[in-house]
Amino acid sequence: MAAIAEDLTPYGGVEADAAWRDEVRRLARQRDAVLLAHNYQLPEIQDIADHTGDSLALSRIAAASEASTIVFCGVHFMAETAKILSPHKTVLIPDARAGCSLADSIDADQLRAWKAEHPGAVVVSYVNTTAEVKAETDICCTSSNAVDVVASIPADREVLFLPDQFLGAHVRRETGRDNLHVWAGECHVHAGINGPELAARAAAEPDADLFVHPECGCATSALYLAGEGVVPAEQVKILSTGDMVTEARATHAKTVLVATEVGMLHQLRRAAPEVDFRAVNDRASCRYMKMITPAALLRSLREGADEVHVDPMVAERARGAVRRMIEIGKPGGGE
Ligand code: 13P
Ligand code: SF4
């Protein structure tokens, strides 16, 4: 292990070899830690984790785990959500700088001002938000259960949906609600996967399935292509990252065009090695997700860092909204 220790400049090159895997497993046992990895993590991080999945599945696993420490290989709001659900557990993120441009698109002051404009509205926040925003929220959701969450709200109540405009448009379309107001936020990675690019790829691969994350700028375009008959409707699937893995096992297509962050391809190829999965935009890589390197994970387990703290008063106010999120919607999305 000496080689690993010498290599451990802050987040520098550590090889994810057998020695690294053994050391990570040994340290995780020593800390009584469960390792969780989001589907956008580097392949070596996904492979060493105890559980890999989408944000809803990982929140549920974190809440149910008996381990005293959760090491969340994902972005900061995910680790914060685990801390809100399990305040007595130690929650570590291998690099606390791993943020999220979508979560940064609204803060608690902005949400309070929006609520003041719509008194009595139900606030539904995507899990990609800070703990302070969750504390101002009635129900959180993820891409996997956003439609179910909004459908659970009486039809005559106004809904404020935040912060992702593309997911909001998808939910409005699916629920048919015109009293759903959507915040104009976006994720820089998904917004960069655009409609014209998808249309060109779909035209070149007419038999391919399209797996599209609802945060993508191209989600509307994918449905438009289906509506116009350019791509048969049954080939267009708007899915959370966990549902993409389930669908990969079920598809009869030889080729699938994948419109989301490129880390997703690893789990899809593992789930269905016979299918040719291709990224719609192979530059769609989330730099925050990629901050969780093999070196960062090793440092995290060695030093017990970076520990995630949420102000107990904020966590108390956010907990109800997060608990409602994990109760609504189908099981699955991770393993
Ligand atoms: P999922 O909820 O589909 O895992 O997506 C999380 C996310 O951050 C998307 O960018
Ligand atoms: Fe946030 Fe976008 Fe990265 Fe997901 S892909 S963590 S929404 S910045």
Q: Is 105 in the pocket of ligand 1 (CB under 6 A)?
A: no
322 CB-contact burial (10 Å; exposed 0-12 / middle 13-18 / buried 19+): buried
pLDDT single digits (tens) 125-171: 999 999 999 999 999 999 889 999 999 999 999 999 999 999 999 99
Q: Is 128 in the pocket of ligand 1 (CB under 6 A)?
A: yes
The DSSP call for residue 311 is -
Q: Is 143 in the pocket of ligand 1 (CB under 6 A)?
A: yes
Tell me the two tokens of residue 119.
């008194």
pLDDT band at 231 (very low <50, low <70, confident <90, very high): confident
Architecture of domain 103-187: 3-Layer(aba) Sandwich (3.40)
Assess if CATH 3.40.50.10800 describes domain 4-99+288-310: yes
pLDDT single digits (tens) 90-132: 999 999 999 999 999 999 999 999 999 999 999 999 999 999 9
Q: Of ligand 1's atoms, which has the minimum distance to the CA of residue 54?
A: 4
Domains in the chain: boundaries: 4-99+288-310, 103-187, 193-279
| Span 295-320, average pLDDT | 98
Cα 100 to averaged position of ligand 2 atoms, centre (Å): 5
pLDDT score recorded for residue 184? 97
CA distance from start to end of the chain = 30
**Fold of the 193-279 domain:** Rossmann fold (3.40.50)
